[in-house]
Amino acid sequence: MRLTLQTDYSLRVLMLLGVTGDRLVTIKEISETYDISKNHLMKVVHHLSVLGYLDTVRGKNGGMRLGREPSEVGIGALVRQTEPDMALVQCFPGGTKGGCRLETGCQLNGVLGEALAAFLAVLDKYTLADLLAQPALLSGLLGVSVAGHAA
């Protein structure tokens, strides 16, 4: 069971920006910090920006920072928005193929749906602020400088 790279990278971007605070950070810096593809990051950042998670500033000294307080970024909400669908199996809405003959007779759908709800309910208990509980440790691990107000 795997979350998409879109979600994985979104979480990492937001965590980094949670550490760097008001300082404007470039895609290049994020890409180098995590050693992940710049191209893929651009898509992720665009999506996060559209969703209102980021403030972006264009131009030579441009970059991005969080568009919301970390305590306002719910992890459950974020995952729901970054996963293209929650199709655990093919028969789920959004599943890759045209479903399954079991259709409405299938109890599996309900069982998996209940499990998914439990998964998301746990994520709903947390915000980005909870993931940033050790900002000094995180900035050290990431090797990034913190400017503006410390996150």
Beta carbon of residue 122, minimum distance to its own copies (angstroms, whole number): 4
148 CB-near residues (< 8 Å, 6+ apart) = 21, 22, 23
Per the listing, tokens 């300082």 go with: 23
Beta carbon of residue 96, minimum distance to its own copies (angstroms, whole number): 9
- Of 57 and 122, nearer to its own copies (C-beta) is 122
Which residues contact its own copies by CB under 8 A?
1-4, 7-8, 11-12, 15, 33-35, 75, 79, 83, 86-90, 100-108, 111-112, 114-116, 118-123, 126, 130-134, 137-138, 140-143
Evaluate whether 56 touches 64 at the Cβ level (below 8 Å): yes
Beta carbon of residue 38, minimum distance to its own copies (angstroms, whole number): 16
Alpha-carbon distance of 113 to 35, in angstroms, equals: 35
- Of 32 and 57, nearer to its own copies (C-beta) is 32
Alpha-carbon distance of 130 to 125, in angstroms, equals: 10
